[in-house]
Amino acid sequence: MRRWALFAPLGALIVLTGYLGLRMGQPLGDTEIIERAAARYVAEAGDGAARTDCAATAHPQARMIVVCHHPDGRSFSYVMGDRGEVFEAAGPQA
């Protein structure tokens, strides 16, 4: 067997690992971050909550702030980071 044929699978594994590491290291897009916050809002708010109740705007200390207004008047705010993490959840406010 040729020597290159022995090392080809190892080279392919290294290239695949590098590609996956690059993809996992990229920050999320705005849409994905808003979708995560909207999903959290729907889970927390319960009946009557819809993903379309949410809107986002820039935040000076984080990536963005997502504010969701429930039809019954409550407001949910999520300060989101680059990777989609919630820095501060200022839960339902009347």
For residue 70, give every residue at least 6 positions away whose Cβ sits within 8 Å of its Cβ, in sequence order, or none. Answer: 45, 48, 49, 53, 76, 92
What pLDDT was estimated at residue 36? 93
For residue 11, count other CB atoms closer than 10 A to its CB: 10
Q: Residue 88 pLDDT > 80, yes or no?
A: no
What pLDDT was estimated at residue 87? 84
Dump pLDDT digits (tens) for 30-77: 999 999 999 999 999 989 999 999 999 998 888 999 999 999 999 999
Structure tokens at 46: 């319960």
Q: 56 and 64 in contact (C-beta within 8 Å)?
A: yes
Rounded to whole angstroms, how far apart are CA atoms 84 and 74? 23
Q: Residue 79 pLDDT > 50, yes or no?
A: yes
pTM for the structure as a whole: 0.69
Rounded to whole angstroms, how far apart are CA atoms 19 and 24? 9
| Longest alpha-carbon distance in the chain | 73
What pLDDT was estimated at residue 94? 36
Measure the N-to-C terminal CA separation of the chain; round to a whole number of Å: 73
Q: Coil, strand or helix: which one is 89?
A: strand
* Annotated domain spans of the chain: 30-93
